[in-house]
Structure 1
Amino acid sequence: MDISLSERDICTKYITPAVEQAGWNRHRQMREEVSFTDGRIIPKGKSYTRKKGKRADYILYYKPNIPLALIEAKDAAHSVGSGMQQALDYAEILDIPFVYSSNGRGFLEHDRTGTGELVTRELTLDQFPSPETLWQRYRTGQGFTDEEEQIVTQGYLTGPDKKPPRYYQRIAINRTVEAVAKGQDRILLVSATGTGKTMIAFHIIHRLWKSGAKKRILFLADRNILVDQAKNNDFRDFGDKMTKIQNHEVNKSYEIYLALYQGVSGAEDWKNIYKEFSPTFFDLIVIDECHRGSARDDSAWREILNYFDQATHIGMTATPKETEDVSNMDYFGKPIYTYSLKQGIDDGFLAPYRVVRYLFDRDVEGWRPHKGEKDRNGEVIEDRMYNRKDFDKGLVLTERTKQVAKQVSDYMKHTDRYQKAIIFCVNIDHAERMQQALMNENQDLVNENSKYVMCITGDKDEGKMELDNFIHPEETYPVIATTSKLMTTGVDAQTCKLIVLDSNINSITEFKQIIGRGTRINEEYGKHSFTIMDFRGVTDLFADPDFDGEPVQVYQPNDGESPVPPDDTDIPSEQIGESLGDYDIPDDTPPDISINGNDDYDVKTYYVDNVQVNVLSEKVQYYNEEGKLVTESLKDYTKNTVQDNYRTMDEFLNQWQASEQKEAIIEELLDQGVLLDELERTVGRDYDPFDLIMHVAFDQKPLTRQERVRNVKKQDYFTQYGEQARAVLEKLLDKYADEGIENIESMDVLKLDDFSEHGSVMEIIKQFGGKSQYQVAVQELEQAIYAEV
C-alpha cells in the first residue's frame, strides 16, 4: 500500500468496498462523514462563530433508527488501531455498540456489548461483519425475544416535514422503546429545556403504538399551552386517532388522548373525568414536566397515576425533582437517559449565555424606617430591618423598581431595544409596577406601540392574549414581558435574548426552568445566545453541584407511604394565584384571593417612595466550557487569558503584526471566553479589539478607531496606488473606523453597496492587479493602521 495515501483515499479504495462486500447497503445502511453536533456557539456581539462540530467517518445502521457500528478512518501512515480512542469517545456519546478503527489494511474491532469472547480483535478487510451478524450479537447481548425485537425494530415515522431525530433524541427514544419492550413499566427521561422533549414523546408513542405494543395512550401535562403545542405540532400526524379531553367530555373511541391534569380531575367527584375510563383503559401514560404536580389540587397526578397503575408510565422533565420530600426517581426509577444543558451548549444545540449581576446599596445595607414613619398610604411601617428577601413582598421601595427598569433599559439601548426580554418578578403586583417603570424608561417606543412592554400574568386576559405574539418569532410586539410565574415553563420563546431575575428564587428546579426560557436557538432571527441580568443573587445557584449534574435521589418514603412522590412543596404560593388563567377557576374568582388559604397577598406590604437606591457594582460573568460560571471580573479574566496565550506584550504584538488574518487571533480569544463586546461596554465602544486587549491585558493607553484612521491619513500610504484603488482603500479605512478590523479582512466587504460604484468584486480586484495583490494591499493597510505600535 502506498504510504502517501490520504484518509479520504483510504476510505474510497479500501474501507467502503470492504464494508459493502460484507453486505452493508451503501445507500440505506451506510453514512459517511456524519456530523452529529453543530459545534459550540461562540458569541461575537451581534454575530457569532461556531467551534468545529463532531463528525464520525462512518456510521452503519441495521435499520434507520438502529445504528450498530462506527468506523474511524486514518491515513496509510497510521496504525490500524490509531483511531480507536476517538472512535470509542464518539461511540459512547452516540450509544453505538460496535466500534472500528482502520487504516485500509484491516480493522481493529471493539465490542461494547460485553457479550463477546474478546473485547477487541483485529480483522482483515474481508472479515468485516455483516449487518445480520452484528444485529444478532447485539440482540443476544440485549436478550431480545422475537416479540421484543419486533417492537424495537419498529421504525420512525418519516416524511418531507419530519426532521430526523438528533443523536440524543434517538438515544432517548430507542432506550425507552427497548425498556418498554422488555416490560419496564416506570421510566424517567431527563432532557434540557429546548432539546425537543415533545418530539421525543411523539416518536416513543408512535413507535409503540404502530408496533402494537401499546394501543391506548394518554399524554398528560399541567398547562394548556403544553397540550395544545403537542396536539397542533409534533402529534398532528395521529390525525383522527387523537383527541384532547376537555369540557368534561369523554369519548372512548380514540386511541391517543391528550389532557391537562386539571381537565380530568378535581376536588369535586364530578370533575374526576378520568374515572369515566376503566383502570385498564390506557396501557401507556406519558407525563410531561413530571417534576411538577397540579397547582390546584395536590393529589391530582398522584390520583390519576394510581388509578391507571397497570399502565406503563413515562415521566419526562428537564428538571427532575429530588428533595427530602419529593422524588421523581423514587417513583420512576433512575433516568434511562439524561441530556444536560451543559451537553446541549457544548454540542451547539442550545444557546450559551452570560450573566450580568447587579448589587444595590439597599440590598447590601438593608433599610429600617424611622420611628413612626408612614408609607405612601399612611400606614405606619413596622419597625424592623428590611432586606432583599422582603423587597416587593413585605416592603416596596419604589426607587428600587425604577433602578431595575433603568438598568434593563440601558442594557437594551446598548445592545438591541427589540430583543425579546422576560422580567421575572416577585408577584403579580411587582410585575405590574415593573411594567409601569419600564414604560416610563422607554416612552419613545411605548408611544410607537403601547404593547412594547406587557404584563403577562395569569390574572390578566389582555396579557395572556399577547403570549402567543411574544413567543412567535415573526411578531415584534410585545418586546418586554413582565411576569411572576406564568412564563417559568411551557413557553417556547425561541427568540428570547434577555432574562431578568428580580425575584427571590431558591428552588434549583424553578431556576433551571427559568434559564430554559432562553436556551433555544433560532439562527434565522439572530438568536444564538442570551443574557441573564440578575438583581437578586439568584445566579448563586449556578454553584450548586446539582445544577447540571446527574440527579441524585434524596426522597425516601416512610413505610406505608405512597410510592408516588408528593407534588412540589416549594412552589411559591404566588404561582398558585397566578396560574388562574391556565386552570379551571370560576371567572369571578378575584386574582388576589388566596387559593387553598395560602397566598403572598395575605402578607402586609408597605409602599415607600422616598428611599434612594444606587448600583454598587455590575459584574459580567459567563458559563464556560467546563460548565462552570466564571466568577472573576471580566477584566481580570481577559488579562489572565491573554497572558496565558502571550507571555509578554512584545509576543502579542509580534503575533498580531505577523498574522495575515487578525480575525483568527480575535476568534481564538473569543473561543476562550474573552467577551470583547462586554469589554467595549465597560472600556469604550470606539476601540478596536486590539486596543481593548492592549489596554486590559498590558495596561496600554488605547486609541480609538477614529484616531488610528487619522494617523493613517497623515502618512503617504495611499500615494502608491492608482486613483480607483486608492478610493477603494479609503472606503475600507472608513469601514474600519465604523465597524472594526474584522470587517475589512474578508473580500465579502466588496459586495456591499458602499463599493458598488467601483464595479463588481472581480473588477475591483483587477484595479490592484489581481487577488493576491489586493490581499497584500489590505495587509499593508492593516500594518499602517497599527504602525505607531
Structure 2
Amino acid sequence: MPDKKNLSERDICTQYINPALQRSGWDFATQVREEVSFTKGRVIVRGKLHSRGQQKRADHVLYFAPNLPIAVIEAKDNKHTLGDGMQQALGYAETLDTPFAFSSNGDGFLMHDRTGQRTPIEQELALDEFPGPEELWQRYCCWKGIASSEKRTTVETPYYDDGSGKAPRYYQVNAINRSIEAIAKGQKRILLVMATGTGKSYTAFQIIWRLWKAKAKKRILFLADRNILVDQIRTNDFKPFGPAMTKIVNRQANKAFEIYLSLYQAVTGTEEEQNIYRQFSPDFFDLVVIDECHRGSAAEDSAWREVLDYFSGATHIGLTATPKETREVSNSHYFGEPVYTYSLRQGIDDGFLAPYKVVRIDIDKDLQGWRPEKGQTDKNGRLIEDRIYNQKDFDRTLILELRTELVARKITEYLKAIDPYAKTIVFCEDIDHAERMRQALVNLNPERIRENRKYVMRITGDEKEGKAELDNFIDPESRYPVIATTSKLLTTGVDAQTCKFVVLDQRIVSMTEFKQMIGRGTRINEDFGKYWFTIMDFKKATELFADPAFDGDPAQIFEPKVDESPVPPDEPDLRGEEEILPPPDPPLPLLPLLPPEAPGEKRIKYVIGGEVTVYVVAERVQYYGPDGRLITESLKDYTRRAVRKEFASLDDFLRRWTSADRKQVVLEELEAQGVLLEALADEVGKKYGKTFDPFDLICHVAFDRPPLSRRERVEQIRKRDVFSQYGVQAQRVLAGLLDKYADAGIQDLENIGVLTLDPFSQLGTPHELVRAFGGKPAYLKAVRDLEQQLYA
C-alpha cells in the first residue's frame, strides 16, 4: 500500500474520505457531490477583453435531499494536519449556508458545528465516526426549529426539475430554503433582497413550486406593477405551472385556478366596482408574492397597499433589489428584516454579475452655470427668467441644444470605439428630453440609420411604436434597436441581458432609482459576449456609488403615520407605463431640488439654440475595484499602491518574475488583485506614444524605472547573437515568436497554440516545429530562455 504522505489530495478523497462517507450511510448518487464549483469566478476586464478569476470549489458538499445542503468537507493531503482545511471549509459553509463543516487529511475528521447546540464546537472524529445523514439532518431541523413532521415535509419537498440539468445557484438555494423554513415556522411576512440580474423571478418560482407541491400553500397571487414583468415570468420562469396558472386580465374574477398573476392596475381602480380583488374572499389566497416591493405598494397610504391589507391573512413575500427605507416608506417595517440578502458586490465577486467602469464627463455649463443676458429671449420668443441656471435646470427648465448634441456626440464616439451595435440605454430627464436625444443621435449616426431606421428608438410610456420595440431591444437575438432613449420606462424590471452601455443624463437623487438604472447593465450573457458594461455619467449621478447605502444595509428611518384613515392619493394615469411609477424617494443631499409645480401647472422650458456654446471640462475613467468600490485615484497611483502591496521592492518583483515558469501567471495574480494592466497600458502608452509590455509598465509605474517598448526589447535581442545555437528552422520559429511578442505581448509567446497561426503555419505543422528544437521540453526551454533574454 502506498505511503499516505505521498498521496495527492484527490487520492485522500478517493481512498479515505469517500469510504468513510459510504460506511456512515451517505448515498453517493443523491447525497454526495464532489469538487463542487459554486461560483463562476469574478470577471476581470482587460481593455476590450476579459478573463475569469478563480472559482470557489468545495471538495465535498453533503445534501440530505437535492435541495438541502447541510455539510461541507475540505480535504488536504496527508502532509497537512487534520484541521488545516477548517478555515477554508468554514468560509464555504458560511457561503453555502450549511451548519456543519469538516476538514480531513485522511487520518480522520475535524468537525465544526455552527448550530451552537453542542460543545465543544469543534471535535476530532475517527474515520469510522463520521455522522450519518439522518443524524445531521435531525440536528439541522432542531437548529432551524422545523423538527415537526409537518414542517419537515414542507422543507423537504424538492425543487422543480425539468431534466435539463438547470439547478438554482447557491445563493438562490439559500434564498429559497430560508424562505421555505421561515414559512414552515409560521412567519407571515418575508423579505428577499437580491441584486438585479440574480434571478428573483426564478427564485420566486421555486419557492412557490415547493410550497404548492407540499400543499403548504394552495392558492397563490403574484403581484407586479409592470405588464412586461408579468408577461415575462408567465412565459418563462412560471411556465411549468401550466393550466393551474392564469393572468387576471379582465374585470371578472375566475376562481378555478391556483396560481394567479396580476398587475395591481388590473385588480384595482378608483371606483369600488373596479376593485376585482374584492371579488375574492379575504382568505382566498394563502400566499401573496409582491415583485419589486419597493415600488407601488410600499407606502402605507397607497391605494395599492389596500390589496395587501385585504389579503392580510395570507403569507406575504416581498422581492426587491433595492429595499426602500425613507421617512415615508419602509420595506422592513412591513416585511421585517430580510431573510436573505445577495448584493451587487457579492454577485460581481462571484462572477454571476457584470463589473463596470464609469466614464465621468463634466460639461462647463453644468459646473459653472449659465445666466441669460438682460432681456434675453429663447427660440420661442419667451423672456428668460434672470437667474443662474445649472445642472439641476438643464433639460428640465432650460434646454441648451448644443449640450444635447455634445452628449449625443460623446455617446456616439464611445460606441464607435467599442462596438457600434452594443445595446445602449440613455436615461434622460423626461420624455421630451428623450425625444430630443433620439433626434441628436439619429443625426450623428446617418450610416447606421441608413442600415436600419430603428438603430435609435425612443422607448417611453407615451409612444406606442417605441414601446412596441421594447421586446426587440431586450432580445439578445435582435440587433435593433441598438440605442434606447428613455426616462423611466426602462428603469426597473426590464431584462436587458446584453445591455453593455448605460448613459446617465438624468439628475438622480433617489438611491433606489440609481440602483435600478445601474441594474440594467449587470447581467452577464456569455452566449453573446456580454461580461461587463460601461456607465457614462453626465450629471454626477455616480457620486452615489460612494454612499454607504449603495451596497450596504439600509437603516430604517420610517416614521409611521398617526392618521389611521389615510386618504389615498389620486390614481396615476394608466395610459402609459411611464406615468404609473410611484413618486421617487426624498432627495439625498446632492443638489437642491426645483420648487414643486402647482397642481395642473406645466413646467416652462426655455430653449436656447447655438448661441450658447458648451464644452467638456473634464473626462475621467473610474474602474470597479477589488473592494467593490470605484477606483477614484489616478490609475497610476492605484497601480503603484496595489503592486507595492504585493512586492515590497523592485528586487522582490524581479525575483518573482524571473522564477516564474510562465510570466503570464504573475500578471494574472496581479490582475486578480485589481491591477488593470490594459487600462494602464493605454494611459502610459498615450503619454509616450509607444506600446509597453506589462513588465515595463509595472517597473515604471510602481518602481520609477524608465520603460522600454516591446519593439525596443525585441531590437535589443536581435542585436545580440542569441539564436546561433539553434538550427535554421528553430531560428525562424524564435524570430516569429519575437514578432508575435512585439505585436501582442507575452501571452502569445507562452501559448504553444500560437504555432498553428501565421507565419508559423507556413513553416510547418506544430509537431514539425517543436521537433526542430528536439521535442516539446526543449521547445519550452527555448521559450523560457528567450523570455530571460527579453527581460535581462
Q: TM-score, normalised by structure 1?
A: 0.91
Checking the alignment, whether the CA contact within 8 Å between 1:341 and 1:350 is kept in structure 2 is yes
Aligned partner of 2:776: which letter?
Answer: K
Equivalent residue for 1:179, pick from 174, 177, 182: 182
Match of 1:131 in 2: 133
Match of 1:514 in 2: 517
| Match runs of 1:431-510 below 5 Å | 431-510=434-513
Equivalent residue for 2:769, pick from 764, 768, 777: 764
**More moved, 648-657 vs 252-261:** 648-657
- Distance apart, 1:379 and its partner CA: 1.8
**More moved, 29-38 vs 749-758:** 749-758
Residues of 1 paired with 2:213 and 2:472: CA distance? 36
| Match runs of 1:325-404 below 5 Å | 325-404=328-407
Match of 1:533 in 2: 536
**More moved, 515-524 vs 191-200:** 515-524
Residues of 1 paired with 2:452 and 2:141: CA distance? 62
Match of 2:116 in 1: 114
- Distance apart, 1:721 and its partner CA: 4.9
| Residues 784, 124 of structure 1: alpha-carbon distance in 2 compared, 3 angstrom cutoff | closer
Q: What SS does the corresponding residue of 1:218 show, helix, strand or coil?
A: strand
Output the aligned Cα RMSD: 3.0
Match of 2:154 in 1: 151
Match of 1:739 in 2: 744
Residues of 2 paired with 1:331 and 1:297: CA distance? 9
| Residues 74, 559 of structure 1: alpha-carbon distance in 2 compared, 3 angstrom cutoff | same
Equivalent residue for 1:73, pick from 72, 75, 82: 75
Please say if 1:28 is aligned against 2:30.
Answer: yes
Aligned partner of 2:761: which letter?
Answer: S
Q: Deviations over 1:152-183 (max 9, x none)?
A: 11111112235111111011111111111121
Match of 1:240 in 2: 243
Match of 2:43 in 1: 41
| Residues 580, 269 of structure 1: alpha-carbon distance in 2 compared, 3 angstrom cutoff | farther
Checking the alignment, whether the CA contact within 8 Å between 2:460 and 2:578 is kept in structure 1 is no
- Distance apart, 1:456 and its partner CA: 1.6
Match of 2:591 in 1: none
**More moved, 160-169 vs 191-200:** 160-169
Aligned partner of 2:613: which letter?
Answer: Q
Please say if 1:672 is aligned against 2:673.
Answer: yes
Match of 2:89 in 1: 87
Q: Deviations over 1:114-160 (max 9, x none)?
A: 23354333322222211112222222333332211111111111122
Please say if 1:251 is aligned against 2:249.
Answer: no
- Distance apart, 1:599 and its partner CA: 8.2
Give structure 2 stretches of 5+ with no counterpart: 582-596
Aligned partner of 2:49: which letter?
Answer: S
Checking the alignment, whether the CA contact within 8 Å between 1:188 and 1:335 is kept in structure 2 is yes
Checking the alignment, whether the CA contact within 8 Å between 2:297 and 2:305 is kept in structure 1 is no
Match of 1:414 in 2: 417
| Residues 242, 759 of structure 1: alpha-carbon distance in 2 compared, 3 angstrom cutoff | farther
| Match runs of 1:160-175 below 5 Å | 160-161=163-164, 163-175=166-178
Residues of 1 paired with 2:344 and 2:39: CA distance? 14
Checking the alignment, whether the CA contact within 8 Å between 1:262 and 1:300 is kept in structure 2 is no
Checking the alignment, whether the CA contact within 8 Å between 1:424 and 1:485 is kept in structure 2 is yes
Checking the alignment, whether the CA contact within 8 Å between 1:266 and 1:297 is kept in structure 2 is no
Checking the alignment, whether the CA contact within 8 Å between 2:300 and 2:329 is kept in structure 1 is no
Residues of 2 paired with 1:175 and 1:557: CA distance? 28
Q: What SS does the corresponding residue of 2:238 show, helix, strand or coil?
A: helix
Checking the alignment, whether the CA contact within 8 Å between 2:640 and 2:701 is kept in structure 1 is yes
Q: Deviations over 1:607-657 (max 9, x none)?
A: 343222222222222222322222212222123323444455566566556
| Residues 93, 654 of structure 1: alpha-carbon distance in 2 compared, 3 angstrom cutoff | closer
- Distance apart, 1:463 and its partner CA: 1.8
Aligned partner of 1:226: which letter?
Answer: L
- Distance apart, 1:407 and its partner CA: 2.1
Residues of 1 paired with 2:107 and 2:782: CA distance? 49
| Match runs of 1:218-237 below 5 Å | 218-237=221-240
Q: TM-score, normalised by structure 2?
A: 0.91
Equivalent residue for 1:579, pick from 568, 577, 599: 577
Q: Percent identity of the aligned residues?
A: 58
Checking the alignment, whether the CA contact within 8 Å between 1:173 and 1:200 is kept in structure 2 is yes
Match of 1:632 in 2: 633
Residues of 2 paired with 1:746 and 1:710: CA distance? 22
**More moved, 133-142 vs 86-95:** 133-142
Match of 2:9 in 1: 7
**More moved, 117-126 vs 387-396:** 117-126
**More moved, 526-535 vs 295-304:** 295-304
| Residues 654, 683 of structure 1: alpha-carbon distance in 2 compared, 3 angstrom cutoff | same
Q: What SS does the corresponding residue of 1:390 show, helix, strand or coil?
A: coil
Residues of 2 paired with 1:657 and 1:230: CA distance? 55
Please say if 1:311 is aligned against 2:314.
Answer: yes
- Distance apart, 1:709 and its partner CA: 5.1
Residues of 2 paired with 1:8 and 1:659: CA distance? 25
Q: What SS does the corresponding residue of 1:684 show, helix, strand or coil?
A: helix
Aligned partner of 2:138: which letter?
Answer: Q
Checking the alignment, whether the CA contact within 8 Å between 1:424 and 1:431 is kept in structure 2 is yes
Residues of 1 paired with 2:579 and 2:299: CA distance? 12
Aligned partner of 1:362: which letter?
Answer: K
Q: What SS does the corresponding residue of 2:181 show, helix, strand or coil?
A: helix
Q: What SS does the corresponding residue of 1:234 show, helix, strand or coil?
A: coil
Checking the alignment, whether the CA contact within 8 Å between 1:498 and 1:532 is kept in structure 2 is yes
Aligned partner of 1:688: which letter?
Answer: F
Q: Deviations over 1:510-558 (max 9, x none)?
A: 1111111111111222111112111111111112111111232221313
**More moved, 359-368 vs 634-643:** 634-643
- Distance apart, 1:185 and its partner CA: 1.0
**More moved, 123-132 vs 312-321:** 123-132
Aligned partner of 1:773: which letter?
Answer: A
**More moved, 631-640 vs 61-70:** 631-640
| Residues 562, 102 of structure 1: alpha-carbon distance in 2 compared, 3 angstrom cutoff | farther
| Residues 656, 122 of structure 1: alpha-carbon distance in 2 compared, 3 angstrom cutoff | closer
Checking the alignment, whether the CA contact within 8 Å between 1:619 and 1:633 is kept in structure 2 is no
Residues of 2 paired with 1:688 and 1:531: CA distance? 25
Equivalent residue for 1:687, pick from 688, 691, 700: 691
Checking the alignment, whether the CA contact within 8 Å between 1:244 and 1:259 is kept in structure 2 is yes
Match of 2:593 in 1: none
| Residues 265, 543 of structure 1: alpha-carbon distance in 2 compared, 3 angstrom cutoff | same
Aligned partner of 1:326: which letter?
Answer: V
Residues of 1 paired with 2:257 and 2:394: CA distance? 51
- Distance apart, 1:107 and its partner CA: 2.2
Residues of 2 paired with 1:14 and 1:600: CA distance? 78
Checking the alignment, whether the CA contact within 8 Å between 2:693 and 2:710 is kept in structure 1 is no
| Residues 666, 85 of structure 1: alpha-carbon distance in 2 compared, 3 angstrom cutoff | closer
Match of 1:588 in 2: none
Q: How many residues align?
A: 770
Q: What SS does the corresponding residue of 2:262 show, helix, strand or coil?
A: strand
| Residues 667, 142 of structure 1: alpha-carbon distance in 2 compared, 3 angstrom cutoff | closer
**More moved, 196-205 vs 537-546:** 537-546
Match of 2:592 in 1: none
**More moved, 318-327 vs 473-482:** 473-482
Residues of 2 paired with 1:64 and 1:516: CA distance? 31
- Distance apart, 1:700 and its partner CA: 5.5
Residues of 2 paired with 1:7 and 1:741: CA distance? 32
- Distance apart, 1:420 and its partner CA: 1.6
Aligned partner of 2:442: which letter?
Answer: M
Q: Deviations over 1:69-91 (max 9, x none)?
A: 22222222333233222222221
| Residues 738, 298 of structure 1: alpha-carbon distance in 2 compared, 3 angstrom cutoff | farther
Checking the alignment, whether the CA contact within 8 Å between 1:355 and 1:621 is kept in structure 2 is yes
Aligned partner of 1:602: which letter?
Answer: R
- Distance apart, 1:389 and its partner CA: 0.9
| Residues 670, 78 of structure 1: alpha-carbon distance in 2 compared, 3 angstrom cutoff | closer
